[in-house]
Structures are given as C-alpha cells and as structure tokens.
Amino acid sequence: MHAISRPRVEDAEAIHELVAAYDTAVIGVPDMTLDDIADELVEPGFDRDKDGWLAHDADGTLVAWAWACANGDSDLVEVEVITRPGVDGLADELLRTVTGRARELAAERGHSGVTMDLGIYRVDHGKQALAKAHGFEPATSFHRMRIDHEGPVGQQVEPPAVPAGITLHTGESEEVRREAHGVQQEAFAQHFGFVKIDYDEWYARRQAQSVTDWSQLTLARLDGRPAAALIGSNQFLSDEDCGYVATLAVLPEFRGRGLGRFLLRHAFAADAARGRKGTILHVDSNNITPALGLYESAGMRPVMVIDVWRRRL
C-alpha cells in the first residue's frame, strides 16, 4: 500500500530527487532542476490541494508524483505521472486519478468533454505503453534543438546587422511586453495546443517563473509596428549553462522577410556575449511554419524528442 498526500511547497526537493531518478533511468541525466519543480508547485492556476498527488511507500520514500493542470478556460488539461524506477502498478492508478481530475477541471470551465495531453520522452517505451493502454494516442512531437557557441566570449558569434526599418526593444517596459504578448497570441493562434490568454494571465505565469528575465525579451518593430518577438529565459542556465528561446513569433503579414532568422541569430549572439555555452529551444514538428528547417539551417541540431500523447473524453 502507498500513502497518498497532497504536495506542499516544501516538498520540492523530494519531488526533484524523484524526477531526477526517473529522468536518469530514461535519458541518462536529470532533465529538471530544483527551481523547475519549485516553479511547478506555484504555477498560477495550479491548486496543490486538488491538482497534485504524492505517493510514499511504507518507509516514507516518495515513489510517485502526479498532477493535472488546466490550460486557461479551454478544455485542454496537461497531465503528468512520474513513478520511481522499479515501482510497478502505481502509474496505472495515478493516471486514472489525474484523468478524473482532468474531467472535473474541464467541467468547471463549462466544457462537456476534456482533452488531455501527456508529454513522453521518445525513448520511454514503458510510458508510451501506459499511455496507449489508457486511450492516449500520439498527437505531435517537440524537438529540443541546440547550438553550441565556441571561441572566446564575445567573439564566437557576431551580432547580425539590424534590417532596414527594424527597431529592437527589450521587455522591461509594460508597453513592450503587451506588444510582444499580442504578437505571440496572433502568431501562434493556429499552432498545436494553443489556448488564447489575456495579457494579465500571460504576465502572471511568466512572472511566477524563477527563470524569467524580461531583458531577454526582444520585440522587433518594423516601421514602428510590432512585427516579431523572441522571448528568452534562464530555463537551461543552471544545468546546461545555455540560453533558452521559449518563444519565437512572427506575425503572418511579416513572414518571409527573414525576421525569425534575424531574431534567432540576435539571441545566439546575446547568449554568447553572456558567456553561455549554447542556446536551446523546442520546436513542434507539426508547426504550421517551416520552423524546424529554419533552426537546422541556422546551425542547431536535435538533441531530444518529446512526444505529446493526447486523449479526448
């Protein structure tokens, strides 16, 4: 028998140890930091008393961590179940539990059904079998891409020339943040898993993350009009010593002018100037724009694939 409890902020260290053990067994290294876990526990909209579960064995060792998190007011709920390597049977029980909570979260938002997304490392065949047994099917894949910056700091990547008519603005001001939010919302409206959120919710989510650094947001205005935005963060700084491009968005009317490539190269140069070893990002393989080709042509290489499995009820 396992004792089931609700997570608390002070459980972050134990949860991180569990997740690191799972990651190491599957991909060979931990893939989340303690700060990542701490951020999950205080995510706006995540109710620790209703949306998360911990399971301990008879010795008090944490053996499982599961959660369900609604995405805005949509019917989309992200779910996760992580069990300690060697612990059998518990994942089935917890996946049923999070499915029940996902139904409740969707119903609370006025939906008659629910869409659940579960991220799984491509190499984790055991979790894929679990997902399939519970009615999940592959929906899309996110490729983690990386480029390494070599040579003396500040010399290895030259900043690209700013295109004619373009001005660049960082995210310390609310005006710039609001414009970047608008670019992101419009540019990603047709992408997999997109859920429209207003500025206040978008800002609150990012502000709650310890890795957020608004100086790494770059808004490009073309002839004074918002055209594209890149949002960077410190997501991979503490473990990989790399910069992270969380979002790269170009408004449809401004595509085909090289703005995405320019902002990407601008981010590479900024990360190199900060002394970071490289830059990382994730790209949806079903992206409606040819983003994967853009990143590969810019010198990035795939280092990991995370598949999203989806179930609709």
pLDDT digits (tens, 9 = 90+) for 252-277: 999 999 999 999 999 999 999 999 99
Whether residue 153 is predicted with pLDDT greater than 60 in this model: the reply is: no
Who's near 181: CB < 8 A, 6+ residues apart?
199, 202, 203
Q: What is the pTM of this model?
A: 0.92
What are the strands of the beta sheet with 62-70, ordered from one edge? 3-5, 52-56, 62-70, 76-83, 115-121, 301-312, 137-148, 278-284, 242-250, 225-233, 212-222, 166-170
Locus of tokens 């951020």:
39
Between β-strands 115-121 and 76-83, what pairing exists: parallel, antiparallel or unpaired? parallel
- Tens digit of pLDDT for each residue in 12-27? 999 999 999 999 999 9
Whether residue 293 is predicted with pLDDT greater than 90 in this model: the reply is: no
- Tens digit of pLDDT for each residue in 113-132? 999 999 999 999 999 999 99
Whether residue 46 is predicted with pLDDT greater than 90 in this model: the reply is: yes
* Segment among 94-108, 149-163, 184-198, 283-297 with least mean pLDDT: 149-163
Please tell me the predicted confidence (pLDDT) of residue 80: 98
- Tens digit of pLDDT for each residue in 131-147? 999 999 999 999 999 99
What is the rounded CA–CA span in Å between residue 243 and residue 277? 8
Locus of tokens 């690209």:
160
What domains can you pick out in the chain, each with its CATH number?
3-135 (3.40.630.30), 145-304 (3.40.630.30)
Token pair belonging to 172? 């310390």
What is the rounded CA–CA span in Å between residue 13 and residue 42? 14
Task: Look at residues 1, 42, 36 and name the one whose alpha carbon lies nearest to residue 16.
Answer: 36
